Structure 1
Amino acid sequence: MIIDYGSRPPVPEFTQSNTSHLQRYRSVYASSERAAGESGTDTFAEFLAAYDSVGAQHIVVKARDLETTFGWRISNEDVARFCRENGPRFIGFAGVDPHKGMTAVREFETAVREMGLRGLNLQCFEHKLAINDKRLYPLYAKCVELDVPVNIHSSINFSTATLMEYGRPILLDEVMVHFPELRVCAAPPGFPWVHELIGVAWRHANVHIGLVAVRPKYLNVPGSGYEPLLQYGRTLLQDRIIFGSAYPMMPIQRTVREVEALPLDESVKRKWLYENAKRFLRI
């Protein structure tokens, strides 16, 4: 069984538009996206079949609101409708624009209380805000009040229209000191500050690390920079690594196979692929 913490279904609701700021991603992930395209998951039926083949119990899909900075969004309404129409297998996260102030806070609350979305997605680099920017604090407080988790982009980004520093994991430490009850999945897993992210997770028991948008095989490649995730992820932090394919950035089946091929105890693989996400998402 698996839970995929990050996927974008091939349906109109998740179509990305006005994404010129992400063009650098297309070259960085060219080979993985090509492999995803060649894996036979172009239609929604094929997408579902791929998840059936790996025993996926749940798939997390996320809204994004970047209207202030980049002029587009994947709306909460569309994500909620998609989840409603396609059953409990899909778990939706809300996306709001922090630059909208209390409007964003109210939209987030509505998305959870009335639409049934079950977390908040913050791609801080796309909002051009650091993880610890105080404009995000009302949203963090609302997550605690609603008792839902937040997904926070915590890694390098490849958009040269914004700063790499916005996703630096050490900034999450201050947030967790101020909001110790906040449940966080920091994803992708911290490159090139992997040790920083491990340190933050070690300090704060409510911080999880999302193995998202990086090929799992690199955790076992000397010199890749990801090796500490394997060492700490099979020992001290084995209960806090969460798998996500990042489809269509990476193919679903190959990404699962690469986790299964890592030198991990079978019990740890189960935690990474299913049990940790189940607990984090309160399923």
Structure 2
Amino acid sequence: MPVIDAWMQHPTPRHSNHEMFESLRRWTGMGLPEEPLPVKVTVAALAAADVEIGLSAAWYGPQGPLIDNDEVAEFVARSEGRLRGVAGVDLTKPVAAVRELRRAVQELGFVALRIVPWLWQLPPTDRLYYPLYTACVELGIPFCTQVGHTGPLRPSETGRPIPYIDQVALDFPELTIVCGHIGYPWTTEMISVADKHANVHIDTSAYTARRYPTELVDYLRGRGRRKVLFGSNYPMITPSQALEHLPDLRLDAETTELFLAGNARRVFRLGDHS
């Protein structure tokens, strides 16, 4: 069954070696890479789990880009059709950020915007985000963000679904929002916000299937089957690792297809085949 990975990145050394990821390196046992990761390694990791499309994101932070949009575009071009780009922008320069987002979508073919709030230590309700939400609606692309606690060594407060995602969805009901990393330890809050707002979704990145909270699994099996998208957080977790225990969730065939690919295909407007 084909898979779409809604949250991953092909890293640069600037990204992989950043000090804030020391906690993740400790958990995963990954060392500091000495050379850039070849795109073919990422393509092989996706292919090993039948990932048809990986949504590979740029990373922009207050000290500059860790993976910039043009680097992502280069990775996409070398991925044999396996990667699609997700834009990043400098949140503190809203006019330039909107221009860069438009360039990424209209010229580079990117399919979404991702901003990681803890990286900026600004919650999604901060005024600097709002021009970008308008641009996302006008461009017809989702806004992807992180919810839940932070694994990296930064404060977790910006990842609370309530009040932040709830308020953004109230202010921008036309905005499609994909909330990565499940929302733990506020998973029930995240589910309630997804229930409340038609255009709010959850992706499972940064968790293997055996670690999905029980309430999320129950939601996925039932009323949330069109609300939850698979994500890995590659390279921290490979898609194969993330999906190893998927059969233990006992999802029916329709729910499995929606979770692995169907929901992402619809939300990111990827068409029948990209």
Q: What is the TM-score of this pair, normalised by structure 2?
A: 0.89
Q: CA deviation at 1:14?
A: 6.7
Equivalent residues in 2 for 1:105-124, closer than 5 Å? 105-124=98-117
1:72-87 equivalent positions in 2, closer than 5 A: 72-87=65-80
Question: Is 1:148 aligned to residue 141 of structure 2?
Answer: yes
CA distance in 2, matches of 1:278, 1:165: 31
Matches within 5 A, 1:1-283: 1-9=2-10, 13=12, 15-16=14-15, 19-27=18-26, 29-30=27-28, 44-66=39-61, 68=62, 70-160=63-153, 162-170=154-162, 171-219=164-212, 226-283=213-270
| Mapped partners of 1:237, 1:60: distance in 2 | 22
1:222 is aligned to: none
Asked if the contact 1:18/1:71 (under 8 Å) is kept, the reply is no
Q: Report how far residue 72 of structure 1 moved.
A: 4.0
Call closer, same or farther: CA 1:90–1:251 in 2, change over 3 Å. Answer: closer
Inter-partner Cα distance in structure 2 for 1:59 and 1:241: 16
Query: 2:86 and 2:10 mapped to 1: Cα distance?
Result: 14
Gaps of 5+ in 1: 220-225
- The offset of 1:240, in angstroms, is 1.2
Preserved CA contact (<8 Å) 1:63 1:95: yes
> Per the alignment, in what secondary structure is the counterpart of residue 173 of structure 1?
helix
Q: Deviations over 1:43-96 (max 9, x none)?
A: 543432333233221111000111x2x444211111112213334321100000
Partner of 1:182: helix, strand, or coil? coil
| Equivalent position amino acid for 2:228 in 1 | I
| Distance in 2 of aligned mates of 1:20 and 1:199 | 34
Contact 2:3 2:52 in 1 (8 A): yes
Identity of aligned residues (%): 32
CA contact (8 A) 1:18 1:72 kept: no
Shift of 1:26: 2.2
**What is the SS of the residue equivalent to 2:20?**
helix
- What is the letter of the counterpart of residue 28 of structure 2? A
1:269 positional shift: 1.1
Unaligned runs of 5+ in 2: none
Distance 1:76 1:65 in 2: 9
SS of residue paired to 2:178: strand
Letter aligned with residue 24 of structure 1: S
Q: CA deviation at 1:121?
A: 0.7
RMSD: 2.1
Distance in structure 2 (CA, Å) of the matches to 1:51 and 1:71: 28
Between the aligned partners of 1:279 and 1:6, the Cα distance in structure 2 is 15
TM-score by length of 1: 0.86
Separation in 1, partners of 2:13, 2:249: 31
Query: Are the equivalent residues in 1 in contact too, given 2:7–2:56 (CA < 8 A)?
Result: yes
Letter in 2 for 1:238: R
Q: How many residues align?
A: 264
TM-fit CA distance, 1:203: 0.2
Distance 1:114 1:46, change over 3 A: closer
